[in-house]
Amino acid sequence: MKSERRTLLKLLALAAAAPTTALALVAPVKFVMTPFQLGVASGSPTPDGFVLWTRLLGLELDSVPAVLVAWEVFDLHDPNQILARGEYAAMAELAFSVHVEVGGLASDRWYGYRFRVAGYVSSQGRTRTLPVSTANPKHLRFAYASCLNLPPVFVALSSRV
């Protein structure tokens, strides 16, 4: 029983230190071209938020354990009106993927978003929060896109999605 308790305490200590450790490993990087070559994506909407995604690419990443990426959510009609922002440590062991869960936003509304790193700005994405569960919208459309682990290809979704 004691060894199980000690193991649990060790795991809790590691989990508590993980965010600090990731930030301690963040290294400044100078890219020779945009690291946002795979674009941006969003999904998993809720009435008060959604998930934002991007992945950094570049040979410059071969020598660093983590890179700090800034993200912003803004009013779609006024990109200067930032409604939510933060930073994310994109780590080598996660292939420099960025996965941000955003919350605290208004429901049933369009938003814009973007990422920034080392002076580069990603393309602007557009996403939407769901209506509240008590809403009765006249129209509701969903689009679902998925990716299998196929050979490396760039697939762009239709702008009508």
Any idea what DSSP says for residue 60? G
Distance between CA 68 and CA 40 in Å, rounded? 16
Quote the number of domains for the chain.
1
Is residue 115 domain-resident? Answer: yes
91 in a structural domain: yes
Q: How far apart are CA 156 and CA 161, in angstroms?
A: 11
Token pair, residue 140, equals 């509701």
Where residue 133 falls among pLDDT bands split at 50, 70, 90? Answer: confident
Q: Is residue 8 part of a domain?
A: no
The confidence band for 135, taking pLDDT boundaries of 50, 70 and 90, is confident
Domain at 61, CATH number:
2.60.40.380
Q: Which two tokens stand for residue 51?
A: 């998930």
* Residue 34: inside a domain: yes
pLDDT for position 120: 95
Q: Is 48 inside a domain boundary?
A: yes
Q: What is the pLDDT of residues 88-113, one digit of tens each?
A: 999 999 999 999 999 999 999 999 99
**CA pair distance 120, 13, nearest whole angstrom:** 36
Q: State which residues form the domain around 104.
A: 26-161
In a domain, 43, yes or no: yes
Within a domain: residue 136?
A: yes
Domain-located, residue 16: no
Indicate the pLDDT class of residue 3, thresholds 50, 70 and 90. Answer: low
User: Binning pLDDT at 50, 70 and 90, where does residue 134 land?
Assistant: confident
Burial 16-40 (b: 16+ CB within 10 A, else e): eeeeeebeeebeebebeebbbeeeb
Which of 132, 140, 113, 143 has its CA nearest to residue 51? 113
pLDDT digits (tens, 9 = 90+) for 27-77: 678 888 999 999 999 999 999 999 999 999 988 888 889 999 999 999 999
